[in-house]
Amino acid sequence: MPVIKTKQLFKIYNEDTVPVYAVNNISVEFQQREFTCVVGPSGSGKSTLLNLIGGLDSPTRGTVEVAGHRIDEMTENQRINFRLNHIGFVFQYFNLIPVLTAYENAAFIMQLQGKPEKEIRERVKTLLVQVGLEKRMNSRPSELSGGEQQRVAVVRALASKPDFILADEPTANLDTKSAFNLLDIMKRLNEEEGITFLFSTHDQRVIDRAGRVVTLVDGGLQHDTEKGK
Amino acid sequence: MQLIKMSWRNIWRNKVRSAAVMVAVMLGLVAGLFSSAMVEGVLLSRFHNFIENQISHIQVHNPEFIRDQEVFQTVGGGQIDLETVANWSEVKAATIRSRTQSMIASATYTGGVELYGIRPNSENNTTNFSRHLIEGDYLIGESENAILIGNALAEKMKVRVGSRIVLTFHDKDNNLVSAAFVVRGLFDSGYKRYDESVAFTFHDYLNSHLGLQGDFHEMAVLANNLDDLSSLEEKLSSHFPKSEVRKWNEIEPGLEIIVTSGNMFSYIFLILIMIGLAFGLLNTMLMAVFERTREIGMLMAIGMGKGRLFLLIVLETLFLSLTGSIIGLLLGYGLVKYTGRVGIDLSAFSDVMKELGVDPVFYPEISREFALIIPIIVLITALLSAIYPALKALSLRPVEALQK
Ligand SMILES: Nc1ncnc2c1ncn2[C@@H]1O[C@H](COP(=O)(O)OP(=O)(O)OP(=O)(O)O)[C@@H](O)[C@H]1O
Ligand SMILES: [Mg+2]
């Protein structure tokens, strides 16, 4: 069973006046452990597609299935709860809660899920060490570099073992070195933890590291290529 | 737990703004508490003055006397009844009086006063009357035609201690009687209009002119404990079956208004302060929500439920308001307690205070009920002011909020 499956997915803005097909009839599947990059020119619908898959937005038509659940049919409150338990998010910016430390941010979702404190501590500390933040655990986001902040966000998304992690341009605000570093970490966690990643980018060098590249143009799926195939 | 930590830290993100709100809440409560307590203090001092120095807790009359104030409408028994009642354990003091309306005249002045025939010792035990004397002596000694008049009246009449004055009144058979008195002492009760309208002589002496035996028109009783008033009233009623026994609030219904109006003032202060508090909180929290639109969008996106988000905003509002409130209430109570013990001396305005019938030194106080209700009302106000900002936060849609 695919982790993510969309069927004839549409997101149309201003359907009654001058329709904008932000997502235009996309049917696509993503399997467990895939490390997929969504690319395309600005305005091609990358963010819109990820938002639909992440249950942040609802489609005009079509279906979105995550781990067998039809999230397009859920109520808003059901979707919030579903996101909490099944989907990890990394955003371009404003990922972290400014008043919490790196550790507290990374532990935030597991805490919302009501996991036992001990389990949280072990899991979050291990992951923070893995991403090289063992010395920054008690720093507030404002004291962290952009790359460090994104790594905390990745740990937060990953810690609760979601079905997959969605990242909309996670490297867009980072310098090249930090961007590669983040990508390496994501790739390693993808391999070690078996977690599915779906992220979007503009950056060709980032694209080169993806296992699968989905190209959008004007809201439609133009190419879907897998490395080594 | 995490929510408490977050909300507490969140209010310190804008230190100046939060501190300003807290200080404003604190000052508002201190000022509100203190002004309420001042009003209560003034009114209660007026109230106690009036009860303890004038009407006492319970009075006994012939029911017809209350209506007509005719000299013959007495309660019989006199001295014996007084001794009986004064010996009851609930009774702190009691006294009896004869009363008649009279014309008072000196060489230069004629006016009306109510002439009281009193029993000097028991009167003093009940109303502590002698403390008002500012010149001359209290009613003691041999000369039975001694009279005490107010200093204010004496000035109007241009008489002094030792002066001779004539009072004219009706006896019990409605004959006009004139009696000469010698001014023995002048009093100043602090309440000018009262001082100008009453005069005091011996009960026996007045009764002999009125043609009454040991009878009296009025018995005034001071209870040991205000809580016993109703049972004491019943006991008096069965002791004087034909008489009308009334408590202070039946004698002077206006006094209850003093007490309730004191409460009303306090509540008006409280409501004004709460309106200020509500606006301050609402404004601050709305700003906080708008400033954090993206962050709230992110929280909702990663799965923070609406209940928790609502709670977060409510907790922030509570912390913001309660920090200032707790300090303000403690300071306010402290100030009221302190000034309530040492008193506030307004002797500088003693003329005004006298007109009002208030002691120049008064003691701010707040009722226990009011003291308990303030924190509850502050809490409710804070909760209510949290609702709108919290709903605003909930109404954000994560996709849009994140794009802002
Ligand atoms: N709320 C909206 N109302 C109307 N049109 C919208 C709205 N949101 C997005 N669009 C349009 O939908 C299309 C797809 O937008 P989207 O943000 O998904 O593109 P993108 O590929 O993420 O672009 P970028 O690389 O700049 O982030 C664009 O033409 C955009 O103008
Ligand atoms: Mg985008």
Helices (H), A20-145: 46-53, 76-86, 102-112, 117-130
| Backbone phi, psi, residue A21, to 5° | -90, 85
- Res B303 pLDDT > 90: yes
Rounded average pLDDT over B216-230 = 88
Model ipTM value: 0.94
Is the CB of B5 less than 8 angstroms away from the CB of A111? no
Chain A residues whose CB is inside 8 A of the B400 CB are none
Q: What is the DSSP letter of B75?
A: B
Please list the residues that pair with A85 across neighbouring strands: none
Tokens encoding B354: 């006298």
- Output the pLDDT for position B108: 82
Please answer whether residues B286 and B389 qualify as being in contact, where contact means their C-beta atoms are separated by less than 8 angstroms: yes
- Output the pLDDT for position B52: 78
Going by C-alpha positions, the residue among B385, B139, B360, B150 that lies closest to residue B283 is B385
- Output the pLDDT for position B353: 64
CA distance B14 to B404: 20
Chain A residues whose CB is inside 8 A of the B9 CB are 99-100
Pocket lined around ligand 1, Cβ cut-off 6 Å: A 13, 20, 22, 40, 42-48
CA distance A140 to B70: 89
- CA-proximal residue: ligand 1, atom 14 (nearest): A45
Q: In this complex, which of B5, B297, B305 lies closest to A80 when CB atoms are compared?
A: B305
The full set of domain ranges for chain B reads: 2-50+258-402, 63-242
List, for residues B230-274, the tens digit of each pLDDT value. 899 999 999 988 899 999 888 888 777 777 777 788 888 888 888
CA distance A43 to A220: 11
- CA-proximal residue: ligand 1, atom 30 (nearest): A43
Going by C-alpha positions, the residue among B190, B221, B188 that lies closest to residue B86 is B221
Q: Percentage of residues in chain B with pLDDT exceeding 90?
A: 50
Least trusted range by pLDDT, from A172-186, B8-22, B133-147 = B133-147
Is the CB of A108 less than 8 angstroms away from the CB of B399? no
Helices (H), A26-101: 46-53, 76-86
Query: Looking at ligand 1, which atom is closest to the CA of residue A44?
Result: 21
Cα–Cα distances (Å) from B368 to B37, B45, B372, B374, in that order, read: 11, 17, 6, 10
Tokens encoding A104: 């507290």
| Backbone phi, psi, residue B294, to 5° | -65, -40
CA distance B29 to A210: 62
Other CB atoms within 10 Å distance of the CB of residue B279: 11
Q: In this complex, which of B9, B302, B399 lies closest to A99 when CB atoms are compared?
A: B9
- Res B324 pLDDT > 70: yes
- Output the pLDDT for position B142: 67
Task: Give B134 Cα–ligand 1 centroid separation in angstroms.
Answer: 93
CA distance B245 to B223: 14
Coil, helix or strand at residue B197:
coil
CA distance B348 to B371: 30
Is the CB of A83 less than 8 angstroms away from the CB of B294? no
List, for residues B19-44, the tens digit of each pLDDT value. 999 999 899 889 888 888 888 888 77
Rounded average pLDDT over B64-71 = 88
Q: Percentage of residues in chain B with pLDDT exceeding 70?
A: 97
Q: Per residue of chain A (229 residues), give pLDDT as tens.
A: 899 999 999 999 998 899 999 999 999 999 999 999 999 999 999 999 999 999 999 999 999 999 999 999 999 999 999 999 999 999 988 789 999 999 999 999 999 999 999 999 999 999 999 999 999 999 999 999 999 999 999 999 999 999 999 999 998 888 888 999 999 999 999 999 899 999 999 888 788 889 999 999 999 999 898 875 5
User: Which of the residues A48, A56, A142 would you substitute to probe the B interface, choosing the one with the greatest number of B C-beta atoms within 10 Å?
Assistant: A56
List, for residues B83-128, the tens digit of each pLDDT value. 888 899 889 999 999 999 999 988 788 899 999 999 999 999 898 8
User: Which of the residues B8, B296, B302 would you substitute to probe the A interface, choosing the one with the greatest number of A C-beta atoms within 10 Å?
Assistant: B302
Task: Give A53 Cα–ligand 2 centroid separation in angstroms.
Answer: 14
Tokens encoding A55: 């249950």
Please give, rounded to a whole number of angstroms, the shortest distance from the CA of A166 to a CA of chain B: 11
CA distance A174 to A186: 15
Closest A-chain CA to B12: A99
- Output the pLDDT for position A5: 95
Across the A/B interface, how many CB contacts are shorter than 8 Å? 64
Q: In this complex, which of B6, B295, B398 lies closest to A56 when CB atoms are compared?
A: B398
Burial letters A26-43, b for 16+ CB under 10 A, else e:
bebebeeebbbbbbbeee
Mean pLDDT across chain B, nearest whole number?
88
Q: For residue B404, what pLDDT band results from cuts at 50, 70 and 90?
A: low
Coil, helix or strand at residue B345:
strand
Going by C-alpha positions, the residue among A67, A77, A155, A127 that lies closest to residue B306 is A77
CA distance A67 to A210: 22
